[in-house]
């Protein structure tokens, strides 16, 4: 599911006032993610990791105590804070060209992360070709995105706005990765942003797949998230909510007018 219009990414992301480090819940989530990555993939000193949409470097700072080599890639003004803190950062949009530059200059990372940025990407094919070009043969690409199931079941239509171009299911992501000879090897449902999915993907056959992947794909199919009706019902439910809200507002205005009389 995606928006029908994309705002120019230069307008959206160059002068970007949001800083990850100001959100305590997100800071905790990112530290937990890094700790999990280091343990699960036995990262050691001088291993190389890349964070796409690295913002002020909050995620990458968590690798510092372990001596792991890091690089942030982000086009926004928030990178000034990362650079001031000594977090190596390429100030650019991530795409196939940027990926090849990093691979030639720094080598191929074992881990690439993209937290709350993957669903914002307009040029998705170039982004995915970049992942395929940059990732080490046994590397893992980890993304976090809002989960369409949580959005619809929680009536979270307030999370639909110009930055969020796409609203992913595990099923749709499995199709996407297949196009680039990759596969999902693990999925976790996490609480951030009203309900998100943390998706681990790798080259086909590089890592065994967790049962969590097929479990969520089966759930999505059973609940109808692979067909149109669940989405048309969502649209109708939003309209109903709109009119309920208008009734409340007009009712309150009417009561206030009567009190004034």
pLDDT single digits (tens) 121-175: 999 999 999 999 999 999 999 999 999 999 999 999 999 988 889 999 999 999 9
Predicted pLDDT at 250: 93
What residue ranges of the chain have pLDDT lower than 50? none
Sequence-separated contacts (24+) of 93-96 with Cβ below 8 Å: 93/9, 93/13, 94/52, 94/53, 94/127, 94/130, 95/123, 95/126, 95/127, 95/129, 95/130, 96/126, 96/127, 96/129, 96/130, 96/133
| CATH pick for 9-226 out of 3.40.640.10, 3.30.70.580, 3.30.450.20, 3.40.50.150 | 3.40.50.150
Cβ–Cβ under 8 Å, residues 3 and 168: no
Distance CA(128)–CA(134), nearest Å, equals 10
Helix, strand, coil proportions of the chain in percent (round to 5)? Answer: 50, 15, 35
pLDDT single digits (tens) 226-245: 999 999 999 999 999 999 99
Predicted pLDDT at 260: 58
Distance CA(78)–CA(23), nearest Å, equals 14
């Amino acid at each position: 599911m995606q928006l029908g219009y994309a705002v120019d990414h230069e307008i959206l992301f160059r002068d970007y006032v949001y800083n990850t480090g100001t959100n305590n819940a997100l800071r905790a989530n990112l530290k937990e993610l890094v700790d999990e990555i280091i343990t699960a993939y036995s990262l050691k000193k001088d291993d190389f990791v890349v964070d796409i949409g690295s913002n002020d470097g909050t995620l990458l700072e968590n690798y510092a105590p372990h001596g792991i080599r890091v690089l942030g890639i982000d086009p926004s003004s928030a990178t000034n804070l990362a650079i001031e803190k000594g977090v190596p950062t390429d100030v650019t949009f991530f795409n196939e060209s940027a990926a090849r530059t990093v691979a030639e200059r720094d080598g191929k990372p074992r881990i690439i992360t993209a937290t709350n940025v993957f669903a914002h990407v307009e040029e998705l094919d170039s982004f995915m070709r970049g992942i395929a070009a940059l990732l080490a043969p046994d590397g893992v690409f980890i993304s976090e995105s809002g989960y369409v199931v949580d959005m619809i079941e929680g009536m979270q239509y307030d999370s639909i706005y110009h930055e969020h171009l796409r609203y992913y299911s595990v099923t749709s992501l499995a199709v996407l990765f297949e196009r680039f000879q990759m596969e999902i090897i693990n999925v976790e449902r996490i609480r951030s942003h009203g309900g998100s999915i943390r998706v681990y993907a790798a080259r086909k056959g590089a890592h065994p797949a967790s049962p969590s992947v097929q479990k969520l794909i089966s759930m999505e199919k059973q609940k109808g998230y692979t067909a149109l009706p669940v989405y048309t019902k969502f649209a109708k439910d939003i309209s109903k909510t709109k009119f309920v809200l208008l009734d409340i507002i007009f009712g309150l205005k009417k009561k206030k007018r009567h009190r004034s009389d």
